Structure 1
Amino acid sequence: MTLKFTAAIVGLIMSSSVFAAATLTAPEDIVILAVNDQEVNTGLFRGAKNNYKIDAGENSISVRYQGYFDHTDGEHDILKSGVVTIKTPALQDNQSYQLALINPPQNFEAAKKYAEQPTIGLYDKNHQLLVQQTGANTEAKPWLSSGIFGRAYDLTQKKTAPAQQPAPVYAPVENNTVVGRNSMDTTADQKLIELWKKSSKAERQKFMAWLAEQSQ
C-alpha cells in the first residue's frame, strides 16, 4: 500500500466522520421538536428560518405546525398541531433540505382546521418534493413535557409505532443503480466510514498506526 493511497483512505474517513451531515431548514410556522426521538432545543426566540445539522441517511423528524394570528381587536392566537413525524428518505452528506407546509391555511378559521391534520413536506435544494406526511401523531412522547427549563429525560426507551398517522407519501425515485466495481467500492467505503464512527479513540489510534506501517 503506497503512502498516497494510505493518505487518501485517511482523508476519506476523517472528512466523512466530521462532515457526514445534511442541513435542514424550517420556516417559522414549523417547529422541529425532535430528530430520531432526541429533543431539539430551539430556545426562547425563533427566527423566520431555522437551520439544523442532522445526520446524513434516513431520519425521523418530529415537528408541529404552529401558526400565529393577530385579530382586529388587538388580541392574538397561537395555534399548535399535534406531533407530525416525518420518515425521511436517505439524506445526502453536505446537501440542503427544507421543510414546508403543503397547502398552508390563509386565515384563522382555515388554520384551526389545518392544525387538526397538517400536511408537511420535505424538499431538496432544487425544490423537489421528497416526502410528505399528513396527520398528527397522538402517541405520547417524553420530550413533549420537558420544556427548555425542564429536567433531562431518558429518551432511550423502546420506540413504538406512530398512532393515528397515515403512511408517508414518497416521491418516485428513478432506478439508476449500476452494479459494478464503482458500486462495490462505494459500499466498502461506507462500511469503513461506519466502522470508524463506531470505534473508540484507542481503536482509531491502532488503525492509524497500522496504516503508517503499510506505507513503509
Structure 2
Amino acid sequence: MVIRSIFAITLILASVTTFSAVTITAPEEIKILAVNDQEVNTGLFRAKNNQYKVDAGKNSLSVRYNQYFEHLNGEHDIVKSGVITLTTPLLKDGESYALNLVNAPTNYETAKKYAEQPVIALFDQNKKILVKQTGANTQQKPWLSQSLFGKVTDLTQKKSIPLNQPAPVYSQTSVTESVEDRSISTTDQQLIQLWKKSSKIERQKFMNWLGEQSN
C-alpha cells in the first residue's frame, strides 16, 4: 500500500515538473488585466499578436472591453467597460483558446450602452463556446491601483462575490470535463502546489526521500 502511494505521488510530481501552459488569444477590444488576480503588465508581457500564456487548468481572467472609435470630424473616443471576471473551465495543456466579444457593437452610440453589460466568451480550437460571461464588476480590484513595482497584493483574503455580474454560462461539454477531472483529491492538489513552489534543491531532497522509501 505504501509503495503504491509513493508511486502515485511520483507520477503526480512528474506530471507537474514539465511546464504546462495554454495559449489564449484576445482581440484588440479585449484587454487582459490579470490572471488569477495577478496583474498582467501588457506593456511588458503582451505579444504583438495579442497572445497570452497561462497555466493549464482552471483560470480566473480579469478583462476589460476597450474599443476605439474615430469620428468623421477627425476626433476620436475610447469606450471602456468595468472589469469583467471570467472563470474558465479546465483548459487542456498545449491547446489554444480565444476570447471574443458576443454581439460586438459597430458604432459609438451602441458601444456606450454595450460597455455597461459587455458579453465576453471563451472559444476552443474548434470555435465552440466554452463559457460566456455577461456584465462587469462594480467591485474595485486591489491590483488596479498598484503599479508593476508596487506593494505585494494580499491574495490570502477571502474573495467576495463580484457585484452586478451574473453567473457565467458554461457549455455542457466543459461542465462534463470539469466533473471528470475531479479525480485528483484535495491532498494531491496541495502536494502539487507545494511542488510548484519548492526550489530545485527541495525537490531533489524529496525525490531522494522517495527513493529511500521504496528500498
What TM-score does the superposition give when structure 1 sets the normalisation length? 0.78
Cα distance in 1 for residues equivalent to 2:194 and 2:165? 33
Answer yes or no: is 1:63 the counterpart of 2:59: no
In 2: Cα distance, 1:191 partner to 1:20 partner: 20
User: Residue 85 of structure 1 aligns with which residue?
Assistant: 85
Structure 2 spans left out of the alignment, 5+ residues: 1-8
Partner of 1:146: 146
- Cα distance in 1 for partners of 2:16, 2:46 equals 30
Q: Is the 8 A contact 1:16 1:193 kept in 2?
A: no
Greater radius of gyration (CA): 1
Provide the identity percentage: 55
Task: Describe how 1:2-81 pairs up with structure 2 within 5 A.
Answer: 13-14=13-14, 16-43=16-43, 49-81=49-81
Structure 1, gaps ≥5 residues long: 1-8
Query: Equivalent residue for 1:4?
Result: none
Distance 1:143 1:72, change over 3 A: same
Distance 1:155 1:193, change over 3 A: closer
Higher mean C-alpha deviation, range 44-53 or range 195-204: 44-53
Match in the other structure for 2:158: 158
User: How far does the alpha carbon of each residue in 1:7-62 deviate from its partner, in whole angstroms, 9 at most, with x for none?
Assistant: xx978744533322221111111001111111111018966631112122211111
- How has the CA–CA distance of structure 1 residues 78 and 94 changed in structure 2, closer, same or farther, with 3 Å as cutoff? same
Query: CA-to-partner distance for each residue in 1:65-115, whole Å, 9 max, x for gaps?
Result: 000011111111111001111011111112111100001011111111111
Aligned position for 2:3: none
How far apart, in 2, do the equivalents of 1:61 and 1:73 lie? Answer: 37
2:129 corresponds in structure 1 to 129
The alpha-carbon deviation at position 210 of structure 1 amounts to 4.2
Distance of 1:139 and 1:209 partners within structure 2? 47
Q: Give 1 or 2: higher helix fraction.
A: 2
Shift of 1:208: 2.5
Name the amino acid aligned to 1:140.
Q
Larger mean Cα displacement after TM superposition, 190-199 or 49-58: 190-199
CA distance in 1, matches of 2:128, 2:102: 13
- Give the alignment of 1:111-126 within 5 angstroms: 111-126=111-126
Amino acid at match of 1:102: V
Aligned residues: 205
Over aligned residue pairs, what C-alpha RMSD do you find? 3.4
- Counterpart amino acid of residue 80 in structure 1: K
User: Which residue is equivalent to 1:206?
Assistant: 205
Alpha-carbon distance change, 211 to 147 in structure 1, aligned in 2, over 3 angstroms: closer
